[in-house]
Amino acid sequence: MADHSPAFVKLVDAARARVRECTVADLKARLDAGQHPGRDFVLIDVREESEYAVDHIEGSLHLGKGIIERDIEARVPDTSAEVLLYCGGGFRSALAGVNLVDMGYTRIVSVDGGVRAWRAAGYPLTTGGPSLG
């Protein structure tokens, strides 16, 4: 992981204080218990489109951090829906999550550690699937 500037880390820490987080193990346990993204919760990959194309968690939708605020209402109109966000390591998802909270979404969860922690745990990743932007 790259070294991040102190100002960026401070911004992320403030976002994490306002957004609920779960671990990759928590997400995997939900999937193993039969919960399905798209039915039981919304799982959104906020990484860049090029990152999503390489690999992502099965069932996730791509709605990149650069456009999520613009497009979320059309893609997830129910502001009470549970929305789990992940990125590479948990920083961008926390930042995106704060904006969704500010937009009125009440059940936002950032997946701490993101896809790097998912990959490190040996959990499966896939390619292809729906990219929403």
- As a whole number, mean pLDDT of residues 105-110 equals 98
Residue 112 included in any domain: yes
| Structural domains of the chain, count | 1
Residue 24 included in any domain: yes
Q: Would you please indicate which residues are annotated as catalytic (active-site) residues?
A: 87
Q: What is the pLDDT of residue 128?
A: 73
Residue 9 included in any domain: no
Residue 128 included in any domain: no
Q: Return the CATH number at 80.
A: 3.40.250.10
CA distance 36 to 54: 22
Average per-residue pLDDT in the chain? Answer: 94
Q: Which two tokens stand for residue 75?
A: 């893609």
pLDDT tens profile 86-107:
999 999 999 999 999 999 999 9
Residue 6 included in any domain: no
Residue 130 included in any domain: no
Q: Report the side by side order of strands in the sheet with 61-62.
A: 20-22, 107-111, 82-86, 42-45, 61-62
* Pick from 91, 93, 90: nearest CA to 62: 93
- As a whole number, mean pLDDT of residues 70-90 equals 97
Residue 72 included in any domain: yes
Domain span at 100: 18-120
DSSP 8-state secondary structure symbol assigned to residue 60:
P
